[in-house]
Amino acid sequence: MRVTTLGEALSSPVAYGVALGLLLGKTIGITLFAWLAVRAGVATLPAGVGWSTLCAASWLGGIGFTMALFVAGLALTDTALLDTAKAAVLVASAIAGIVGYVLLRRSRPG
């Protein structure tokens, strides 16, 4: 597979998989397991932290460079696909940071 532009790279199935994994997978996973821990009585939410704040902070978990790039390097041998995955990691991490920031600003009390 030969990718010549950033637009082509980010419209590939590899890019969608990486982005969905970082953006939705991390957010849902962090929120779900925090909820399960609280529900099971193993943990409690800190004082002043509600579920909306925890969910907003979970978006920041989508900022993932090290492990995402490591796994992509192990999984992809085609340099074009690896470059696509790297671009998707950068874009998804930026989106996760921006969304997390905006949601945390909105969830602040007062």
Query: Dihedral of CA 95/101/102/107: which sign?
Result: positive
The residue segments making up the domain with residue 40 are: 6-107
If pLDDT is split at 50, 70 and 90, which confidence band does 9 have? confident
Q: At what angle do helices 79-107 and 66-75 cross, to 10 degrees?
A: 150
Q: Is residue 1 part of a domain?
A: no
Q: Is residue 67 part of a domain?
A: yes
pLDDT at 73 over 80: yes
pLDDT of res. 6: 73
pLDDT of res. 10: 77
Q: Is residue 37 part of a domain?
A: yes
pLDDT of res. 54: 94
63 closest CA partner among 100, 28, 31? 100
Asked whether the beta carbons of 27 and 89 are under 8 A apart, the reply is no
Structurally, the chain folds into a number of domains equal to: 1
pLDDT of res. 5: 76
Q: Is residue 95 part of a domain?
A: yes
Q: Is residue 52 part of a domain?
A: yes
If pLDDT is split at 50, 70 and 90, which confidence band does 109 have? low
The pTM (predicted TM-score) of the whole model is: 0.86
pLDDT at 2 over 70: no
pLDDT one-digit tens code per residue, 40-57: 999 999 998 999 999 999
pLDDT of res. 4: 63
Q: Is residue 66 part of a domain?
A: yes
